[in-house]
A and B are shown apart, each in its own frame.
Chain A
Amino acid sequence: MVNESSVFFSRLLTEFTLTFHIIYATIGVGVPLMIMIAQWLGIKKNDEHYILLARRIARGYVITVAVGVVTGTAFGLQLSLLWPSFMEVAGNVIALPLFMETFAFFFEAIFLGIYLYTWDRFENQKKHFLLLIPVAVGSAMSAVFITIVNAFMNSPQGFDIQDGQLTNIQPIVAMFSPSMPTKVGHVLVSAFMTSAFLLAAIAAYRMIRGSRHAYYKKSLFLFMKIGLVFSIATAIVGDFSAKYLAEYQPEKLAAAEWHFETEKDADLILFGVLNEETEQIKYEIRIPKMLSFLAHNNFNAEVTGLNAFPKDETPPLYIHYLFDFMVTIGVFMILLSLVYVIAKIRKWLFVDSKWFRWLIVLGGPLTFLAIEAGWWLAEVGRQPWILVKYMKVADAATTSGNVGLMAILFGILYVILGIGSVVVLVRMFKSNPVERELADRKMEGGDSK
Chain B
Amino acid sequence: MNIEILGITVLWIFLFGYILVGSIDFGAGFFNAHGIMTGKQHILSKIIQRYLSPVWEVTNVFFVFFFVGIIGFFPKTAVYFGQPMLIPGSIILILLCIRGSYYAFEAYGARGHKGYATMYGIAGVLMPAALSIVLTISEGGFVDIVNGQPELNYKALFTSPLTWSIVILSISACLYISATFLTWYANEAKDMAARDLLRKYALIWAIPLVISVIGIMVELKSHNPEHYDRMVDLWYLLALSALMFIGTIYLLFKKMKFGLAIGLVIGQFLLAFFAYGISHYPYLMYPHLTLYDSFTNQTMAIALVVTFILGLCLLVPAMWLILKLFVFNKNYAEGKEDHHA
Interface residues of A (CB under 8 A from B): 1, 55, 58-59, 62-63, 65-67, 69-71, 73-74, 76-78, 80-82, 84-85, 87-93, 95-96, 98-103, 105-107, 109-121, 134, 166, 169-172, 398-400, 402-403, 406, 409-410, 413, 417, 420-421, 424-425, 427-428
Do A417 and B54 touch (CB < 8 A)? no
A27 → B minimal CB distance (Å): 14
Out of A76, A166, A403, name the residue touching B68 (CB < 8 Å): A76
- The bracket for how many chain B residues form the interface is 35 or more
Give the nearest-CB partner of B106 in chain A.
A424
Do B303 and A171 touch (CB < 8 A)? yes
Do A99 and B304 touch (CB < 8 A)? yes
- Interchain Cβ contacts under 8 Å between A and B, 9 examples: A77-B67, A80-B81, A84-B79, A84-B82, A91-B300, A110-B318, A116-B53, A117-B341, A400-B86
Out of B53, B79, B94, B105, name the residue touching A410 (CB < 8 Å): B94
Q: How far is the CA of A189 from the CA of B29 in the complex (A)?
A: 38
Out of B54, B73, B90, name the residue touching A409 (CB < 8 Å): B90
Which residues from A are CB-within-8-Å of B304? 95-96, 99
Give the nearest-CB partner of B90 in chain A.
A406
Give the nearest-CB partner of B66 in chain A.
A102
Do B300 and A98 touch (CB < 8 A)? no
The proximity string for B residues 63-103 relative to A, scoring 1 for CB distances below 8 Å and 0 otherwise, is: 11101110111111111011111110110111011111111
Judged by a CB distance under 8 angstroms, whether B256 is at the interface is no
Q: How far is the CA of A421 from the CA of B104 in the complex (A)?
A: 9
Q: How far is the CA of A410 from the CA of B151 in the complex (A)?
A: 22
Out of B58, B99, B149, name the residue touching A113 (CB < 8 Å): B58
A55 → B minimal CB distance (Å): 5
B307 → A minimal CB distance (Å): 6
Q: How far is the CA of A112 from the CA of B321 in the complex (A)?
A: 12
Interface residues of B (CB under 8 A from A): 53-55, 57-58, 60-61, 63-65, 67-69, 71-79, 81-87, 89-90, 92-94, 96-105, 108-110, 147-149, 151, 296-297, 299-300, 303-304, 307-308, 311, 314-315, 318-319, 321-322, 325-326, 332, 337-341
Do A117 and B339 touch (CB < 8 A)? yes
Which residues from A are CB-within-8-Å of B55? 113
Q: How far is the CA of A67 from the CA of B109 in the complex (A)?
A: 13
Do B307 and A103 touch (CB < 8 A)? yes
Out of B58, B74, B332, B339, name the residue touching A119 (CB < 8 Å): B339
Do B65 and A102 touch (CB < 8 A)? yes
Do B337 and A121 touch (CB < 8 A)? yes
Give the nearest-CB partner of A171 in chain B.
B303
Do B57 and A400 touch (CB < 8 A)? no
Do B75 and A81 touch (CB < 8 A)? no
Do A96 and B57 touch (CB < 8 A)? no
Give the nearest-CB partner of A414 in chain B.
B97
Do A169 and B79 touch (CB < 8 A)? no
Q: How far is the CA of A113 from the CA of B109 in the complex (A)?
A: 16
Do B325 and A103 touch (CB < 8 A)? no
Interface of B is mostly: helix
Q: How far is the CA of A121 from the CA of B104 in the complex (A)?
A: 22
Do A402 and B87 touch (CB < 8 A)? yes
Which residues from B are CB-within-8-Å of A77? 67, 89, 92-93
Which residues from A are CB-within-8-Å of B109? 63, 424-425, 427-428
B76 → A minimal CB distance (Å): 6
Q: How far is the CA of A59 from the CA of B108 in the complex (A)?
A: 8
Which residues from B are CB-within-8-Å of A96? 72, 300, 303-304, 307
* Contacts A63-B108, A69-B60, A103-B311; A170 near B299 (Cβ below 8 A): yes
Which residues from B are CB-within-8-Å of A425? 109
Give the nearest-CB partner of A128 in chain B.
B339
Interface of A is mostly: helix
Q: How far is the CA of A92 from the CA of B76 in the complex (A)?
A: 9
Do B96 and A70 touch (CB < 8 A)? yes
Which residues from A are CB-within-8-Å of B297? 92, 166, 169
Given contacts A73-B60, A88-B79, 10 further A-B contacts (CB under 8 A): A62-B108, A73-B64, A73-B97, A84-B78, A88-B75, A106-B314, A114-B325, A169-B297, A402-B86, A410-B93
Which residues from B are CB-within-8-Å of A103? 307, 311, 314-315
Do A417 and B322 touch (CB < 8 A)? no
* Contacts A66-B103, A71-B97, A117-B326; A109 near B58 (Cβ below 8 A): yes
* Contacts A76-B68, A95-B296; A121 near B339 (Cβ below 8 A): yes
Out of A73, A119, A399, name the residue touching B96 (CB < 8 Å): A73
Q: How far is the CA of A96 from the CA of B61 in the complex (A)?
A: 17
**5 A-B pairs closest in CB distance:** A91-B75, A66-B104, A95-B72, A424-B109, A87-B78
Which residues from A are CB-within-8-Å of B67? 76-77, 80
* Contacts A81-B89, A119-B339, A420-B105; A102 near B84 (Cβ below 8 A): no
Q: How far is the CA of A427 from the CA of B111 in the complex (A)?
A: 11
Do A427 and B339 touch (CB < 8 A)? no
Which residues from B are CB-within-8-Å of A166? 297
B323 → A minimal CB distance (Å): 10
Out of B58, B78, B311, B325, name the residue touching A88 (CB < 8 Å): B78
Q: How far is the CA of A399 from the CA of B250 in the complex (A)?
A: 52
Give the nearest-CB partner of A403 in chain B.
B86
Give the nearest-CB partner of A428 in chain B.
B109
B149 → A minimal CB distance (Å): 5
Which residues from A are CB-within-8-Å of B340? 116-117, 119
Which residues from A are CB-within-8-Å of B93? 73-74, 77-78, 410
Give the nearest-CB partner of B69 in chain A.
A99
Which residues from A are CB-within-8-Å of B103? 66
Which residues from B are CB-within-8-Å of A91? 71-76, 78, 296, 300
B96 → A minimal CB distance (Å): 6
Which residues from A are CB-within-8-Å of B318? 106-107, 110-111, 134
Do A70 and B71 touch (CB < 8 A)? no
B73 → A minimal CB distance (Å): 8
Give the nearest-CB partner of A80 in chain B.
B82
Give the nearest-CB partner of B332 in chain A.
A117
Which of A91, A170, A428: most chain B CB closer than 10 A? A91
B119 → A minimal CB distance (Å): 10
A393 → B minimal CB distance (Å): 16
